[in-house]
A and B are shown apart, each in its own frame.
Chain A
Amino acid sequence: MEKGRERNRRGIRGWFDPTVPNNLERWAYFFQRLTGLGILAYVIGHIGDTSFFVGGPFGTGPNQSSWSFDLSITENVVGHLILIFVVLIVTFHGINGIRLILAELGIMVGKPSKIEYPYRPSSLRSVQRHIIWVAIVLAVLAAIWAGSILFG
């Protein structure tokens, strides 16, 4: 029995498969994790990048050549696209995070009521769901704004 037990637990696969049962909150859950990992990767990269011109393990110290070298790897089209992507995921992660904090305080998740068929759970049609769309729209707008600055 133990063999079957282990086989059937969904595991981390379940975190990264939002298609079952495909509700918007499950997609937000998936993107919250994904963007969290993206932000973590950016922070690690940013620390490495900063170390170039403050004399960290890769840098030669705070001087003109290390600063120029740092700019050469970040001030280009790919570097800018990465930064635009970072703005996109940070904005989504932040706003969706606020939604989750409020929802987990029981705010904007609706309230119990008499239910009738076809059932439409109040938590999945409450204000919190609109905030997911707000997070998506604001993340795209922030990315466009960042793009206009970096490429403008």
Chain B
Amino acid sequence: MSYVKLVVQRYDPERDEKPRFQEYIVPYRKGMTVLDAILYARDYLDHSIGVRFSCRMASCGSCGMKINGKPALACYTQVSELGTERIVVQPMDNFPVIKDLATDFEEFFEKHKELMPYLVREDRAEQENPKSEYLMKPEELERILQFTYCIKCGLCYSVCPTVGTDKLFPGPQAIAQAYRYVEDVRDEGGETRLNILDNPHGIWRCHFAGSCSAVCPKGVDPALGIQLLRRYVMRGKAPRKKGEGSKPFTK
């Protein structure tokens, strides 16, 4: 393979009536990622291509898009692994398009924030200025570790069939992160999160299509987190009440 045919979906909601496709011929080199191909097209062929990226190593979660119809990180997808010279790139579904491949994460982050993705302590002064560390046992860490790897790329959100029809559903990423904090032995905000999720547009709208877990590039498994969290919502009881979180470490 000496070149790739990169087909980019172009759409500027401020100006265009509907999306269109534009083709660029990009010279191929060994080890080239889809993001490399897009950046080549943007740098040398057409400066107007809209794309968001940052770290180029699957850590920042900025370059999620549909590559040949399948949601993936462009920096994490080798051209060679696609097995085709024609690569079609489109913005992720379920996100408003800002321009071309760049999508708007405002709604996504709002939903994430609403579920309080941080440790909550009853003692607010201690929460803001902890006097010492909070210890966890290895098995307690293991219960939440994989969920901490989320890079907020939004790929799970883009394939979720419920997000596609219910604007109020928090989505797999936010709920999986809620589970991550509810299950954290240092946290005391579980009951508040369960109350937020226990509504007709909340956790009950997940029907376990499992697509979130199938596309997650970091192995987070949001579908697992959602089902496990649902147990707590069903019982109406978080694993810890206020004041029952692990105690600060003292010598």
Contacts and interface: CB of A to CB of B under 8 A. Distances in A.
B228 A106 contact: yes
A100 B224 CA distance: 13
B77 interface: no
A143 B19 CA distance: 46
Given A10-B94, A104-B208, A21 B164 contact: no
A29 B225 CA distance: 18
A21 B70 contact: yes
Contacts of B206: 104
A20 B66 CA distance: 10
B93 A112 contact: no
Contacts of B214: 21-23, 25-26, 121, 124
Given A112-B144, A114-B146, A121-B221, A100 B231 contact: no
Interface string A92-117: 00000000100111100111111101
Interface string B6-26: 000001011000110000000
A57 interface: no
Contacts of B228: 106, 109, 111-112
Interface string B209-227: 1110111111101011101
Interface in B186-241: 206-211, 213-219, 221, 223-225, 227-228, 230-231, 234
Contacts of B230: 104-106
A9 B221 contact: no
Contacts of B149: 115
B165 A12 contact: yes
A122 interface: yes
Interface size class of B (residues with CB under 8 A): 35 or more
A113 B146 contact: yes
A95 to B, nearest CB: 15
A20 to B, nearest CB: 6
A152 interface: no
Nearest to B225: A112
A112 B146 contact: yes
A106 to B, nearest CB: 4
Contacts of A124: 210, 213-214, 221, 223
Given A12-B165, A15-B165, A113 B208 contact: no
Interface string A110-133: 111111010111111000000000
A2 B107 CA distance: 12
A1 B104 contact: yes
A122 B221 contact: yes
Contacts of B216: 119, 121
Interface in B38-80: 69-71
B108 interface: no
A115 B161 CA distance: 26
Given A23-B211, A26-B211, A11 B223 contact: no
B165 A21 contact: no
A35 B230 CA distance: 25
Contact of B159 (A11, A20, A120): A20
Contacts of A5: 96, 104
Interface of B: 11, 13-14, 18-19, 69-71, 91, 93-98, 103-104, 142-147, 149, 159, 161, 163-165, 167, 206-211, 213-219, 221, 223-225, 227-228, 230-231, 234
18 contacts: A3-B13, A4-B98, A8-B95, A8-B96, A8-B97, A26-B211, A29-B210, A100-B207, A104-B206, A105-B234, A109-B227, A112-B228, A121-B213, A121-B221, A121-B224, A122-B221, A124-B214, A124-B223
Interface of A: 1-5, 7-15, 19-26, 29, 32, 100, 103-106, 109-115, 117, 119-124
